Chains A and B, each alone.
Chain A
Amino acid sequence: MDPTQSQQLAYIAGQAADARVNVELETDEGMVLNLGPQHPATHGTLRIVAKLDGELVIKAEPIMGYMHRGYEKLTEVRTYPQVTALINRIDWLGNFANEVPFILAAERLMDVEAPPRAQHIRTILFELSRISNIALFLGDMAVQLGAVTPVFLAFRDREHVLNQIEAVTGGRFHPNFDRIGGIKDDLPAGWIEETHAVMVKMRKFCDEIEDLVLGNEIFQARTRGIGVIPADVGLEYGLSGANIRASGVDWDLRRDNPVGLAWDKVDWKVWTHPDGDSFARYWVRLQETREATKIVDQLLDTMPAGPIMAKVPRIIKVPAGEAYIATENPLGEMGYYLVSQGELTPFRVKIRSASFSNMSIAPWVLQGTYVPDVVTILASLYFILGDIDR
Chain B
Amino acid sequence: MSSADTETEGVTTDAAREAAVAEFAEALGDVCLETHVFPGVDCWIRVATDGWLQAAQVARHELNYRYIDFVSVIDWMPSPYGRDMDTEQDRDPNAVADVEAMQHGVTGGDTRMQAIGRVHSLITNIGVNIKCDIPDDTLTLDSWISVFGGVNWHEREAYEMFGVAFTGHPGLRHLYLPGDFEGNPMRKDFPLLARRVKPWPGIVDVEPMPDTGDDGGGES
**Which residues of A line the B interface, CB within 8 A?**
10, 13-14, 16-18, 20-21, 64-65, 68, 70, 72-74, 76-79, 82, 108, 232-233, 235-239, 249, 251, 256-258, 264-265, 320-324, 326, 333, 335, 337, 339, 341, 343-345, 348, 350, 352, 356-357, 360-361, 364, 389
Contact = CB atoms under 8 A, between A and B. Distances in A.
Interface of B: 1, 6, 9, 38, 41-42, 44, 66-70, 72, 74-75, 79, 83-85, 103, 105-106, 116, 118, 122, 125, 127, 129, 148-150, 152-154, 161, 174-181, 185-186, 192, 195, 200, 202
Contacts of B180: 10, 13-14, 16-17
A337 B41 contact: no
A218 B152 CA distance: 35
B187 to A, nearest CB: 10
B158 to A, nearest CB: 10
Contact of B150 (A14, A77, A258, A357): A357
Nearest to B44: A322
Contact of A108 (B41, B74, B181): B41
Contact of B178 (A10, A235, A237, A344): A10
Nearest to B101: A341
Contacts of B42: 323-324
A378 to B, nearest CB: 16
A65 B176 contact: yes
Nearest to A345: B83
A94 to B, nearest CB: 19
A265 B118 contact: no
A238 B72 contact: no
Contact of B69 (A68, A323, A326): A326
6 contacts: A65-B177, A235-B122, A324-B127, A341-B103, A350-B116, A357-B150
B105 to A, nearest CB: 5
B117 to A, nearest CB: 11
A265 B122 CA distance: 22
B175 A65 contact: yes
Contacts of A333: 69
B83 A344 contact: yes
Given A13-B180, A77-B85, A258-B6, A324 B129 contact: yes
A82 B83 CA distance: 14
A36 to B, nearest CB: 15
B186 A73 contact: yes
Q: Is the interface of B mostly helix, strand, loop or mixed?
A: loop
Contacts of A78: 85, 202
A256 B67 CA distance: 14
A226 to B, nearest CB: 21
A103 to B, nearest CB: 16
A14 B195 CA distance: 24
Residue of B122, B149, B153, B161 ringed by the most chain A CB atoms within 10 A: B153
Given A14-B179, A361-B150, A335 B200 contact: no
Given A77-B83, A258-B6, A364-B149, A322 B179 contact: no
Nearest to A363: B152
Contact of B84 (A77, A320, A323): A77
B172 to A, nearest CB: 14
Contacts of A264: 1, 6
A72 B157 CA distance: 12
Given A13-B178, A324-B118, A237 B69 contact: no
Contacts of A108: 41
A21 B174 CA distance: 11
Given A68-B176, A82-B202, A264-B6, A13 B181 contact: yes
A322 B106 contact: yes
A23 to B, nearest CB: 12
A257 B122 CA distance: 11
Contacts of B103: 320, 341
B23 to A, nearest CB: 19
B152 A235 contact: no
B200 A77 contact: yes
Nearest to A266: B1
B185 A73 contact: yes
Nearest to B190: A73
A77 B154 CA distance: 23
A257 B125 contact: yes
A238 B74 contact: no
Given A251-B122, A341-B103, 8 more contacts: A16-B180, A21-B179, A65-B177, A76-B79, A235-B67, A337-B70, A339-B74, A352-B69
